[in-house]
């Protein structure tokens, strides 16, 4: 029974990571493409990590260092996305959305 749950989690994780990468190809501008790696991929990696924690906790010792990976990912993914967006605004990349008034974006 547990194996089915784990298999489901791993497949779901792979599917979400794939959709996140698919976003890079399908979305129209740079700013939209940033959403893929910060969102869909987070859940994908989350699913894989939960599966790993459950699988390796079956022995006598619980395996919880996967929680740390999730934590670090939640801290770093938004920061890199923020820096990329900031750089894109600075370079005035074309955007589908109407660009904000740019007097304060230097």
Alpha-carbon span 35 to 22, nearest angstrom = 11
Give residue 63's region: left, alpha or beta (phi > 0; psi -120 to 50): beta
Integer angstrom CA distances of residue 29 from 1, 8, 37, 95, 97: 44, 33, 14, 6, 9
- Decide: is 62 part of the binding site for another protein (CB under 8 A): yes
Q: Does 92 bind another protein (CB under 8 A)?
A: no
Closer to another protein at the Cβ: 7 or 72? 72
104 is a site residue for another protein (CB under 8 A) = yes
Q: Which residues bind another protein (CB under 8 A)?
A: 16, 19-20, 22-23, 26-29, 31-32, 34-36, 38-40, 42-43, 61-65, 67-68, 74-75, 77-79, 81-82, 85-86, 88-89, 95-100, 104-105
């Amino acid at each position: 029974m547990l194996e089915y749950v784990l298999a489901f989690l791993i497949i779901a994780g792979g599917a979400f990571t794939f959709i996140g990468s698919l976003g890079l190809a399908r979305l129209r501008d740079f700013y939209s493409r940033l959403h893929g790696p910060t969102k869909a991929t987070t859940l994908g990696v989350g699913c894989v990590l939960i599966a790993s924690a459950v699988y390796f906790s079956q022995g006598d010792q619980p395996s919880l260092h996967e929680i740390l990976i999730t934590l670090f990912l939640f801290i770093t993914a938004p920061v890199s996305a923020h820096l990329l967006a900031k750089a894109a605004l600075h370079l005035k990349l074309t955007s589908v959305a109407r660009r904000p008034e740019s007097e304060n974006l230097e």
